[in-house]
Structure 1
Amino acid sequence: MKNEFVEALANLQENEAITIAQKMLESGTMAEEVLELAQQGVDIIGKRYENGEYFLPDLIMAGEILKEIASLVKPRLSKGATARRLGKVLIGTVEGDVHDIGKNIVSFMLEVNGFEVLDLGVDVPPAKFVEAIKEFQPQVVALSGLLTVAFDAMKDTVNAIKEAGLRDKVKIMIGGGQCNENVRQYAGADAYGKDAVEAVALAKKWIGGE
């Protein structure tokens, strides 16, 4: 059943993947294990996208399936899993950009790997990031953006965090289709994560989980 679940997710078979996830949970499979299996499926989806087998609509579909699976799994996560949280990550798509598939996959992968994640959604103004940092007190802030217009918004957000006197309290990563090292330097972020796996690795490195 576990292999079937990974395959169904990787093949974007929504109903089948969700049905198998439900059956696994009902038959006693730990919620954490279902998340680990989902991560395997996401890894395959990512590789197929990189190889040109999948396209943006496929990633959007994957994001929707993951949301459904996450809603099944989250209520069943053990208290121990919450207690083992490595740290807090604040994430959002910056102002002027409404793309969320990449952000959703990063959020999901961070949660799978033991982080407490606060997702502010899309088109998030700098002031909202600043307010959330004060309230949520994350160690890491992840700024997402697919469009080139997001670059200025990322820079504005980093500057707003600086002006609020919070810059030395958080590590900032950026990510998204058009992002690269030059954009990182322009925005004033600490690192650029090219995909969800790298985002998780950065968060672990910064928070000391690895």
Structure 2
Amino acid sequence: QAAEAAASSESELINAIKKGLKERSAALTAELLKTKAALEIIDGELIPALDIVGKGFEKKTVFLPQLLMAAEAASAAFAVIKEGIAASGGASEKKGKIVLATVKGDIHDIGKNIVKAMLENYGYTVIDLGKNVPYQTVIDTVLQNKIKLLGLSALMTTTVANMEETIKLLHQALKDAGEECRIMVGGAVLTADYAEKIGADYYAKDAMESVAIAKEVFGK
């Protein structure tokens, strides 16, 4: 019976996220944390829920307001998980600093926010510059903090050119300063080939991929 209850509460959380129910998602997550590890909930509940909504959005069975509400509900669940990790003293070992930014001209930051939450849950420190970030802000932040990994996001075809420009200017600034920083890029309009073409080191097709990239860059 306990197993049945667990199974029903699992699907309840996925349903709550899909419906964009923030408070319900947070409450169900708090309940699940009593019996499950944080990463188990992220991998088994939050990411599958966001995948379902994301695929629906691609197929046009889910529309932007629903996508935004689901992302907010998932963020509420992530917030509960982060509190749980902090309270239990887990992931207190910081593994490295990563800068994230949605490029100049682009006002979409759902994907970036999910990546941020994932990286933080895996113990990385994230400096989030937000959306529509000017080139110089990215460059200054990377150099001042001696950042070894930068994540850039673009969701609009029109802003990919700004991503390319950000990378070009950063490469020059790093060269002048004698510093090194790896760049990962992501966003619905990008492909691995295009990422390589614009000078990025890595293409992150989703949030989990960005965690794998961080592990590779920092060696832990």
Relative distance call for 1:93 and 1:46 in structure 2 (3 A) is: same
RMSD: 2.7
Distance, in Å, in 1 between the alignment partners of 2:74 and 2:49 is 14
What's 2:172 paired with?
163
Match of 2:55 among 19, 30, 50: 50
Deviations 1:43-87 (CA, angstroms, capped at 9, x unpaired)? 33214533646454333222212333344444551545222x222
What's 1:82 paired with?
92
**Larger Rg, first or second structure (1 or 2):** 2
Q: Please say if 1:66 is aligned against 2:74.
A: yes
**TM-score of the superposition, structure 1-length normalised?**
0.82
What's 1:21 paired with?
29
| 1:94-173 alignment runs, 5 A limit | 94-165=103-174, 169-173=180-184
**What is the CA distance between 1:137 and its match in structure 2?**
2.8
Distance, in Å, in 1 between the alignment partners of 2:100 and 2:40 is 21
Match of 1:33 among 25, 30, 37: 37
Q: Is the 8 A contact 1:94 1:122 kept in 2?
A: yes
Q: Is the 8 A contact 1:59 1:101 kept in 2?
A: no
Unaligned ranges ≥5, structure 2: 1-5
Count residues with an aligned counterpart: 204
Percent of residue pairs identical: 31
Residue identity in the other structure for 2:182: K
Unaligned ranges ≥5, structure 1: none
